[in-house]
Chains A and B, each alone.
Chain A
Amino acid sequence: MTTPSPSESSEQAAFRAHCKAWLAGNLPPRPRFRLPLGPLEIATVEQLEYLCNWQRAAHAAGLVGCDYPREHGGGGLRDCQWIANHELKAAGAPFFPNIVGLGMAAPTIFHHGTEAQKRRLLPPLFSAEEIWCQGFSEPGAGSDLANVQAYAERDGERWIVNGHKVWTTLAHFATWMILLCRTDRARKYEGMTYFVAPIRDGIGRGVAIRPLVKMTGELGFNEVFFEDYSIADDLRLDEVGRGWSVAMTTLLHERGAGPLVTPSSGGGVGDDGETTLGAAGLVELARRSYRNGRPASDDPRLRDAIVQLLIRQRAFAQNERRAAVPALVDHPLRLPLQHKLTLSELLQDTARLACEIEGMAASLHQTDPNAPAGGRWPHAYMNSYGFTIAAGSNEVQRNILGERVLGLAKSK
């Protein structure tokens, strides 16, 4: 077990004790239905309700938004969210569903919004009463996000939006969207403006949402079409033409590198209550799987591969630990910007190896009663590509790390 450093403040120590005590008695009972692997996979209303209820309870107990001011629905503490996350993870708590809200919209609104916007938008975001989605990507604007073409045209105190967003996770459940639009076609980076759009209210009034089916067969992300959709100017974040720099705040936090720590439980809980995607599960899986009539756990090559992943998993956790020790960090963005890259590749390689260990049984779909581990691993393997592509593909992450941390020439 890791313990607080002696340098932990008394506020932090008291908060940690509060988290432990509350979590000891307030984890939700396990649902009868299957929970998704992560917030990006939420597909049904009952899944959503279960997870929203959990987030609401955790927020009421002060474990969500701890480092935000009280008047914005936060806990008014300093440097405490990571402690809550640590305790949530240790307790094996379910994840929070409002991932786009907590991880992207909240810090962006906090850094760029007006006082009125913060008071209106942040409290229901933290309590999961209002779910958020991110309308950045478009058919022609993926890695090259600054190429967004969805156009917002000024109309007095309002804006008229026309365009097409894709891959919009959670849009089908969302009340709000963070929306990046072009407001000046003559300028690429200076020609964008950032809005918060009440898309739920807009359905049938200029907003149409069409679900996209993922390669796993599941729902989760969508296409969103805007046709003469009108939004008020007081839903604009920051100045006209500053959209790109606001979006950078969002992306920095999305990649785990922003100044505000995202509330998270760190873990997904599988339908059987096991935390699913850790490399530790591989050892058990190998003991139960067979290869040439012998346990896969006796195969020297698989043993080596399993241990490699156990090492990478520990290294990932220890990177998080070291990132909080300034004396052992050379460049402030060096570890935070690696977060998404290393985690997504770790999960992908873990799932790939699990399938290899399962051998022939890896052919079985989750619905097959004979699928080992409930068919979780082949499913997780397919799903892992969502994470290596989303939030800036890992190729793009390598560009960013090379350019921002190592100072290499920009590839743009």
Chain B
Amino acid sequence: MASTTLRITSARLRSPFVAQVEKISGQKLLACYQCGKCSAGCPMAAHMDILPNQIIRMAQLGMHEQLLACEAIWTCVSCMTCNTRCPKDIRIAEVIESLRGAVLRTGQRDDHLRIQEIDADVRTNLPPIAMISALRKLAS
């Protein structure tokens, strides 16, 4: 990730964005003490640009733009490994889902899977379970 300078102000920590993420995910972001256990066990970590613990940290700090532009929120597959291992019982997968929602619910509806771009042959071979779950997670 490119280095970022961030001025931490109470306005950011109490921004509507942080409040919305906490509400939709049902999680208290400040409970996280950055132990890193979520990232240590994440099967998708090798494919992510920022790690799950960093996502939580950036959400705490209200780093709205960086979070909604990152790839990692789309790489997370809601496998729930982090949730079952977090010593603070934070549901990281729920936080990440709320971030995907923040992108998919805007007017642009920036889908991260475009079925029409996938080969017709490939589409027929994929089981319904793959297609439907991918669309539900990655498209508006």
Partners in one complex: no
Measuring CB to CB, which residues of chain A are less than 8 angstroms from any residue of chain B?
none
Residues of B that sit less than 8 Å from A by CB: none
